[in-house]
Amino acid sequence: MNKKHVVLKESFRCAILGIVDAWRNERNMKIHTAAMLLALAAGLWLRIDRLEWMFILSAVFLVLTMEMLNTSLERVVDMFTLEYHPLAGAAKNAAAGAALLASVYAILVAAFVLLPPLADRVNIF
C-alpha cells in the first residue's frame, strides 16, 4: 500500500472515531440519531419517492453535520479557556444556534414529506 492510501485510510479512521466519540459523549447526537431512525423507518413504511428521500436524507445529514461542528467548536473553546469569556460564550451559542436551525429545518422537511402520506395511511384529516 502506498503512502497516499495509508494517509487516506488514516483520515477515514479519524473521521469515524470522531463520529463514534460524538455519539458516545453527546446527548444531542443520540437524540438526533433516534430522530433519524424514526424518519428513515417512516420513509420506508410510507414508501416515499426518490425526491422525498433526497429531502429527508439532506435534512438528516445537515443536522448530524451541524451537531458534529457544534461539538467540535465547543471542545476547542473549552480547551482554550475554562473561565467564562463573552466571546467564547457567543461562539458556543452561535454554534448551538446553527444546530438548532438545522433541527428546525429537519422537522419542517419531515412535516412536509411525511405527514401527508401518514395522514392518508391512517385516514386522518
Cα dihedral across residues 94, 99, 105, 108: positive or negative: negative
Query: Which residue out of 10, 26, 52, 67 is catalytically annotated?
Result: 67
Contact predicate 52/43, CB 8 Å:
yes
Cα-based torsion angle of the residue sequence 69, 73, 79, 81 in order, rounded to the nearest 10 degrees: -160
What is the number of residues in the chain? 125
- 3-state SS, residue 1: coil
Active site residue 67: yes
- Residue 23: count other Cβ atoms within 10 Å of its Cβ: 15
Residues ≥6 apart with Cβ < 8 Å to 118:
42, 46
As annotated, the active-site residues are: 67
